[in-house]
Amino acid sequence: MRKNRVAAKQTEISILALDDDEIMTITLQSYFQSSGYHVDIENDPNKAVERIRNHHYDILLLDFLMSPICGDEVVKAIREFNTDLYIILLTGHKSLAPPIKTIRELDIQGYYEKSDRFDQLELLVESCVKSIRQMRTIRSYRDKLSQIVADSPQLYRLTTIDALLESVMSQMNRIFGFENAFLYVRRHFFQDGGEIAGAVQMPADYYLGIGAYGEAADRVRNYLMERHETEFPIFEEAENEPCRVFPLLDENQKPFGIFGARISHQHYFDTVRLLEIYLRQVTSTVSNLMLHIQLQKAYEKLEVSYEEMTKTVRTMVDARDLYTRGHSDRVSYYACRIAEKMGKDERFINRIRVAGLFHDIGKIAVPDSVLLKNASLTREEYEIIKRHPGLGYHILSAISSYQEIAPIVLCHHERIDGRGYPNGITGDQIPEEAKMISVADAFDAMTSHRRYRENLTLEQAVSQLEQGKGTQFDQKIAEAFIEILKDYEAIREEIAWTFEETALDLEHR
């Protein structure tokens, strides 16, 4: 045996010693436990197989000649359910060892000829331990890398900076098991705030710490800010506490924050490499989120401009004829109610809302003598009025924001039976939005007062819709609107302002 052996600290390696000689197993247990290993012993081969099946062992020290079964039979039984166990075969004499071919087939790591000295056996065990630790490191690296890959898509689904950074800290604790770590972000690097409308406002700086750094926000911040005003360093110690700090860089390689953690020496380099991989994902996600926020704000500005332009153009249309003031709003409202009733999506409803507001925009080009006439129109005057869908189409087609709306406006006076205008198209040739606006437009025209006639009652207007199903109007759309009109009193209250606006304008005419 090795002389002057010093008792080692307890290791994470567990050994099972199997021999039908009790003295031998006790001797092995005493020797290797003094080296820091956890050692169990067993003298029955069949019981040993069950112990290995039900408990974790790293190394098996196995006697070859035993009863009722020999060592090679034990190994065959174990390899059916465990291929990770390291096995060292013990023999009374080299000549009694199984052939090399058998040792290879059974994946036995080595064999030892029994003697009163365990030096060679100890070297074999140490060799196995090195391999076991290397495999554990490789598996740990692989598993953590797999977790990083699996967790990264979750970050891309977050829509606020504060939620993203909290998720980052949670994921890193789960993947790496840090007991002491912190995440610090300087708010001014996010310019306009780093949040989408409705999100909780982040503080001036964002700090999240655990363990020794849980209450150390001011200390860590002051330490860093005293040395670097705009850049964060990579250093090994902060106030004499072992710590590795990583800068978080945006797409321009400009630091916006840092992550720091105490990392154990045992797996230091592997952990650092994995952290660098993970933090690259984090900075990429932050950059994407910031871009998304900027695009969202730009889109919101475009939406405001779009709505302002829509309101301006609609006002131009309504200004031509006080009697039709509010008509476009009501047609838009009715058409949207029909679309909602028929289960259309938000984009469809928004499209039909704007098309309803603009359906009569072509009347801007109709002469006042025709548009504002107090009597019924002549045939020639009616032909002039019939041009307004085509005129509206040309006006809207010239504006990129309204090109989707133009075909709807063009077709809102077409009929299912082909007797409409301007093109006399039929059925499925007519855009669905135009069919809805046609029903809404006809109903509001029938129930609104005009210079040249009185309005119809609700019952009379519904009767006209019933008669026009399948000829003037799409049957399903007309039926859906008639169903909506059963709650007409509530509808009138909801859009009362459109009627009041018309009446007020007429009083001041």
Picking from 102, 134, 166, the residue at the C-terminal end of a domain is 134
CATH number at residue 349: 1.10.3210.10
Does 349 lie in the same domain as 492?
Answer: yes
Does 484 lie in the same domain as 357?
Answer: yes
Domain that holds residue 29: 14-134
* Domain presence at residue 299: no
Tell me, what DSSP letter sits at residue 450?
A: B
Does 128 lie in the same domain as 57?
Answer: yes
Residue 5 and residue 22 in contact, taking contact as beta carbons nearer than 8 Å: no
Picking from 68, 102, 134, the residue at the C-terminal end of a domain is 134
Does 342 lie in the same domain as 234?
Answer: no
Picking from 276, 294, 312, the residue at the C-terminal end of a domain is 294
Number of domains into which the chain is organized: 3
Residue 400 and residue 305 in contact, taking contact as beta carbons nearer than 8 Å: no
pLDDT at position 2: 47
CATH number at residue 57: 3.40.50.2300
Does 256 lie in the same domain as 387?
Answer: no
Does 479 lie in the same domain as 332?
Answer: yes
Please report where in the chains the tokens 């598993």 appear, as a residue.
Answer: 143
Residue 459: exposure state from Cβ atoms within 10 A (0-12, 13-18, ≥19):
exposed
Sheet holding 38-42, edge to edge: 38-42, 14-18, 59-63, 86-91, 110-113
* Domain presence at residue 220: yes
- pTM of the predicted structure, to 2 decimals: 0.48
* Domain presence at residue 246: yes
Does 180 lie in the same domain as 48?
Answer: no
* Domain presence at residue 80: yes
Does 20 lie in the same domain as 122?
Answer: yes
Nearest Cα neighbor of 448 from 507, 378, 382, 502 is 502
Segment holding 186, helix H or strand E: strand 181-186
* Domain presence at residue 330: yes
Does 388 lie in the same domain as 259?
Answer: no
Does 452 lie in the same domain as 342?
Answer: yes
Residue 389 and residue 297 in contact, taking contact as beta carbons nearer than 8 Å: no
* Domain presence at residue 311: no
Does 166 lie in the same domain as 125?
Answer: no
* Domain presence at residue 144: no
Label the pairing between strands 241-242 and 237-238: antiparallel
Residue 194 and residue 203 in contact, taking contact as beta carbons nearer than 8 Å: no
CATH number at residue 284: 3.30.450
Q: From first to last of the 509 residues of the chain, give the pLDDT tens digit.
A: 444 454 456 678 999 999 988 999 999 999 999 988 999 999 999 999 999 999 999 999 988 888 888 888 898 999 899 988 999 988 876 666 666 777 777 788 877 888 778 888 889 999 999 988 888 878 877 888 787 777 777 777 777 777 877 888 888 888 888 888 888 776 655 554 444 333 334 445 677 777 777 766 666 666 555 544 445 444 444 444 567 778 777 777 777 777 888 887 767 788 888 888 888 888 878 777 777 766 777 777 777 776 777 777 666 666 666 555 688 889 999 999 999 999 999 999 999 999 998 898 888 888 878 877 777 888 898 899 899 999 999 988 888 778 899 999 999 999 999 999 999 999 999 999 999 999 999 999 898 876 656 788 999 999 999 999 999 999 999 999 999 999 999 998 888 877 655 544 444 44
* Domain presence at residue 302: no
Which 3 state secondary structure label does DSSP give 115? coil
Does 451 lie in the same domain as 363?
Answer: yes
